[in-house]
Amino acid sequence: MNIDWKDSYRIGNEAIDRQHQELFELANAMFVATEKPAQLLGAMKLYQHVREHFADEEALMKMVEFPGYKAHVESHNRILKNLGEVSHAIGKDAMDPKVVAEFLTDWGLKHIPHDDAQVAAYVKAHSPT
């Protein structure tokens, strides 16, 4: 499975959009890796970048007092848990492509276009002009 970045995923914040694009690249690199060391390295890079990205996104939500902050953070925590499960499975030589595909679908095809789009709309409406 490979998920492609689409311009429709842009939320309008240049830094966040850049991070999202890099997350797609890292996720795809992890998914196509065929050997355990490359899979583990890919998972570690992705996990680190995801945590940094979520911290940046959560700081932005706090700054604009996004009303859905708590639910969005819970979504972030769920995604991190799923990514941790993927990493754990790789470590046990039990990487299940279905689990990876589920993670990619949840994060890349649901979270960004839906949840992050709501944040983007709120930020745009509540930012000083």
CA distance 108 to 111: 6
Q: Is the dihedral of CA 77, 83, 89, 95 positive or negative?
A: positive
Cβ atoms of residues 42 and 33 within 8 Å:
yes
CB atoms within 10 A of CB 1: 13
Cβ atoms of residues 42 and 21 within 8 Å:
no
pLDDT at res. 128: 65
93 three-class SS: coil
CA distance 97 to 117: 27
Full pLDDT tens readout for the chain, 129 residues: 677 788 888 877 888 889 989 988 888 888 788 888 888 898 889 889 999 999 999 998 999 999 999 999 999 998 888 888 888 888 888 777 777 777 777 777 788 888 888 988 898 888 765
Cβ atoms of residues 124 and 12 within 8 Å:
yes
pLDDT at res. 93: 80
CB atoms within 10 A of CB 13: 19
DSSP state of 68: T
